[in-house]
A and B are shown apart, each in its own frame.
Chain A
Amino acid sequence: MEKTLFDKIWDEHVIKELPGGEVLLYIDRHLVHEVTSPQAFEGLRLQNRTVRHPELTFATTDHNVPTDSRTEITDPVAKAQVDALAQNCVDNGITFYGMESDKQGVVHIIGPEQGITLPGTTVVCGDSHTATHGAFGAIAFGIGTSEVEHVLATQTLRQKKPLQYKVEFKGRVPTGVTAKDMVLELIGEIGTAGGTGCAFEFCGEAIEALSMEGRLTVCNMAIEAGARAGLIAPDQTTIDYVTVEDRPFAPKDGELEESIEYWKTLYSDDDAVFDKTLVIDVEKLEPQVTWGTSPGMVTGINSTVPQLDAVAEYSPEDVRTALDYMGLEPGMKMTDIKIDTVFIGSCTNGRIEDLREAAKVMEGKQVADGVRVLVVPGSEKVRYQAEAERLDRIFHEAGAEWRYAGCSMCLAMNPDKLKDKERCASTSNRNFEGRQGRGGRTHLVSPVMAAAAAIAGHFVDVREQV
């Protein structure tokens, strides 16, 4: 029987078939953050249940933490939530990277960094962007708090196997076009529900050419196309990422060799059957910018805001509502849209490569008058690395703010927020109404496009600026 990459990992983790079409699936890694876990720990306590495998559970605090200071959280409600996680981890013997830790960061950034995320594993977290970890060839998906509690108690989940959707990115992307643009193009093409009920496998020349950082960006936004998971088969790029740098929780020596042998079996067999397939040619792909309030409302930088009836996946009413919220009119050139704020960071684009690329665009230039630029590394490890490479100096000298690690303005649970009608070029993943602050207007872009917009004060094709 020919198997897909997904089948191979899934089959390794099925404990038992359950009545009604579900299976009991074993979970190798459980990542935990402060927002979606307190009620799960409380549920365990009320039932006198314990955490089955604290050593397979890893926690950090990312959503609520301030990024301008590491000394204190001034919001008492946010502080209580962060404190609750710290206490739950102490009580249950769970590894915890708190605000003071040099390993703290956005949960989806630190999993790979610390060698927690590995090829062939199952990874879950109470966070929809858990799809990120699929870049290693892992089955990784987001779960709700009830499922967090289920994993804490049993190290398993009851799951129905998703359909499988192969997306091939054909060709090579032009210079200045990034992993972010590839995944935005996909979401624009199939809509935000195009992958509902499915797990993606991303493949093709353009995927193979990506660094691990780029692959993580693509898988991160699988959920924005409706799919809970997105996988990429591991290859030498993956093995190098895990083995060249120190990854404390990755296998070593003989165990590593054994793992690498397993990783090399993780690919879709030639005749494996997918439920859906799509080929996207990226040879002529342009840098992408969203214009609406759904990640599928996206177009190329040299294009215009669409007419109401010209968007396949959205009704004219949906487009009108989105444009009213965004303060835009059909026919406007994307390059005429002026911005107030730039956010570079998040689990989508807060890795070292993202910051290097953004710094290259901003080096020796000045941020446009009146534009506020926040650069927020995805983890403290990324921050140290960036500072060692003096990227922080480049951002400072250009007039940007350089911050500590956290989710920050991606979802604005901490003090980093947009004000009403403020317009932001953001490297994050969601442009929903109010996502970055009530009334705030978000345009999703790649790090280089965000950096170029910061300098110009409006969207601009980064390829013309460098």
Chain B
Amino acid sequence: MKKFETFTGVVCAVDRANIDTDALIPKEHLKSIKRTGFGSALFSDWRYNDDGSDNAEFVLNQPKAQGASILVGRNNFGCGSSREHAVWAVAQQGFKVVIAPIEGDIPGFADIFRNNCVKNGVLTVQLSSEQVDRIFEMAMADEPLEATINLDEQKVSFKEVEFTFEVDQAVKEKLLKGLDDIAESLLLEDEISGFESRHNTQLSTA
């Protein structure tokens, strides 16, 4: 996996709560057996008109969001299915970071989506609802909104304002070092074999 490096990019802010995985990538795009080619399917029900042309109303199609690499949504982002295709679509559309707010006891991200992001080098940043409101306000302008994401320092910086964010230390290390989980786990072969020799899986050979 590629290492996550500090970068400056353009924001695309989609003002909806509970953006589910069916919205991120509708099921007709799940039939591929490849890991690539999902970028154009991101948000396809909202992004395209019935005739396949771009829906000019949808923010991703607006000039200010062209080339965007920072996706901002509302709480419970990525709820629904476990389809990693949703993260592949986000990443292959060019997004490296997704930002969503914690509002009361409603977290920014659904568990499986957040987990799948880490596996694909995509950083999820949870901010307060006031901070995310501020980003939506700044993103209302016609000009593209730029931000710098520094994972090492845990900062999101805009021209006018800077926010710090919390991050799970295991996640931070994986992203910064670009670690491959499977390779790391295979190094633990002795522990796994040792465990297997004393563990009962209860399987009957039919």
Contact = CB atoms under 8 A, between A and B. Distances in A.
A296 B109 CA distance: 16
B53 interface: no
A115 B168 CA distance: 37
Contacts of A364: none
A433 B22 contact: yes
Contacts of B75: 193
Interface stretch (A74-82, A178-186, A299-307, A457-465): A74-82
Contacts of B115: 143-144, 147
Contact of B106 (A16, A81, A130, A193): A193
A432 B22 contact: yes
B79 A144 contact: no
A301 to B, nearest CB: 24
A55 B203 contact: yes
A191 interface: yes
Contacts of A126: 82, 84
A255 interface: yes
B161 interface: no
A106 B46 CA distance: 30
Interface string B177-192: 0000110011010011
Nearest to B1: A146
Nearest to B111: A228
Interface in B128-144: none
Contact of B76 (A38, A55, A196, A435): A196
Interface string A5-41: 0000000110110111110101011000001101100
A237 interface: no
Report, nearest first, the 8 A-B pairs whose CB atoms are least far apart: A20-B170, A146-B119, A38-B33, A144-B84, A248-B206, A144-B116, A142-B82, A145-B84
A434 B25 CA distance: 11
Interface string B105-125: 111011110011001100000
B81 to A, nearest CB: 5
A149 B204 CA distance: 24
Contact of B80 (A22, A156, A432, A438): A432
A250 B17 CA distance: 43
A366 interface: no
Given A143-B82, A294-B18, A22 B170 contact: yes
A80 B120 CA distance: 25
Contact of B111 (A49, A81, A226, A258): A226
A368 interface: no
A193 B110 contact: yes
Interface stretch (A212-220, A314-322, A327-335, A383-391): A314-322
Interface of A: 12-13, 15-16, 18-22, 24, 26, 28-29, 35-36, 38-39, 42-43, 47, 49, 55-56, 63-64, 75, 77-78, 80-81, 84, 115, 118, 120-121, 126-128, 130, 142-147, 149-150, 153-156, 158, 160, 162, 191-194, 196-197, 226-228, 248-252, 255, 258-259, 294, 313-315, 318, 321, 411-413, 430, 432-435, 438
Contacts of B185: 24, 150, 153-154, 156, 158
A191 B33 contact: no
A315 B33 contact: no
Nearest to B20: A432
A147 B18 contact: no
Contacts of B31: 35, 64, 75, 77-78, 80-81, 413
Contacts of B106: 191, 193, 196, 313
A75 B35 CA distance: 20
